[in-house]
Copies of this chain bind each other. A is one copy, B any other.
């Protein structure tokens, strides 16, 4: 049988409320009593039941984290950091995967609402209207999306994209292709408008493309036709696929064309050539998101991105 607060109370000769307080408000109980209760609790192997506690306090000490696809290499570092931040304050973390389905997103938030103190929603696919309604049921923080009434954590891709194009320009590339992501993607737009602002380079836009390796692979032909010597890809997966596609076309990277990705996922670091990329602070975002949630502040924060130069970029022939 599980040992409860009553067992501890009986065994240490005090009332249950005293036992309760030694755990949830230690300063309210006499030092001697407290230590006696604690040792008895230790002996009996007592651990407070969080569900019961949640019932009265309304706080569960649980958080929810919803991502589009756990297996997409972009997310694990974010999940890991969020988990670490949560544990640090003694919170537990539900992790959920929507499989890119907006409906699952809504469903999950509903299901979580009674069971968590807040949820962090990563790159949500649902409409603003839906999210705003949901935000009334449970506190939110949204990563990578602006949402009225919710705390948001943004990563400044625009800045990174500009750095990337400037890097290419600095190497001497005059014509650079932008291999975009899916139509209507907020990120894709950010990248594009930022890239367009760099003087001295002619930008040719190739897209929309699926945000995957296959998407990049499929764009290789058009990149060659464009005559661009430098490429900024929607993300690392696209960049890696593109490099492979270019290889099949007989084009070397970075010899014939330079390509830079965005995200800085692990496969990019391991790939050959090692990918030059815009590092997204996913870990920082995950950590910050849970901090905002726990402290219940409704700020909207923007995180810096930076350029990581590796081996997939060089001066043009």
Q: Which residues of A contact B (CB under 8 A)?
A: 2, 47-52, 54-55, 60, 62, 69-71, 73, 75-77, 79-80, 83-84, 87, 92-97, 99, 110-115, 213, 237, 240, 243-244, 247, 266-267, 270-272
Contacts and interface: CB of A to CB of B under 8 A. Distances in A.
A94 B97 contact: no
Given A93-B96, A96-B92, A267-B271, A60 B71 contact: no
Contacts of A240: 270
Contact of A60 (B51, B95, B112): B51
Contacts of A49: 55, 114
A199 B197 CA distance: 64
A5 to B, nearest CB: 12
A83 B70 contact: yes
Contact of A213 (B87, B94, B270): B270
B114 A51 contact: yes
A79 B76 CA distance: 10
Contacts of A244: 272
Contacts of A266: 71, 73, 267
